[in-house]
Amino acid sequence: MGQEAKKAIEEGIQEGLKLLVLSNAPKQSDLSRVKIYPVAVKGKMKYQIEEYRKNQVFHSNCEEAEVAGEAIKRLEETGFRQVELTSVFSQRTVLIGKKGTETVKCKKQKQENP
């Protein structure tokens, strides 16, 4: 995985992560999708990681400081080829080709006036 995908993940988390989805795993992987999103646990803000394995879903929680590392670790270990990240200010899509080429698309979110 190249630097562009890591940079897009880290920037999206700094902007205020709403949802991060890792998908399009290789056929031999038992992990099909990973979702990461913020949740309140006992009054504290944490991030929940949902791992979809075959027909089961496994949940774990992590701190804000760990979320970028956890996402990048799962992306590198599994070989996911698509990352969709929605933050407060933007929506990013990272596509990783068979030869390792990366395409990063960033779309700014429209701000609603209160």
**Phi, psi of 13, deg, nearest 5:** -70, -40
* DSSP codes, 28-39: T-SEEEEEEEEE
Residue predicted with more confidence, 114 or 92: 92
Q: What's the pTM?
A: 0.88
pLDDT one-digit tens code per residue, 17-59: 999 999 998 888 889 999 999 999 888 999 999 999 989 999 9
Please tell me the predicted confidence (pLDDT) of residue 17.
92
Helix and strand numbers, DSSP H then E, in the chain: 2, 7
Spatial contact of 75 and 1, defined as CB atoms under 8 Å apart: yes
**Terminal alpha carbon distance of the chain:** 40
**Which amino acid would we find at residue 81?**
R
pLDDT one-digit tens code per residue, 73-107: 998 888 899 999 999 999 999 999 988 899 999 99
- pLDDT bracket for residue 3 (50, 70, 90): confident
Helices (H), the chain: 3-16, 67-78
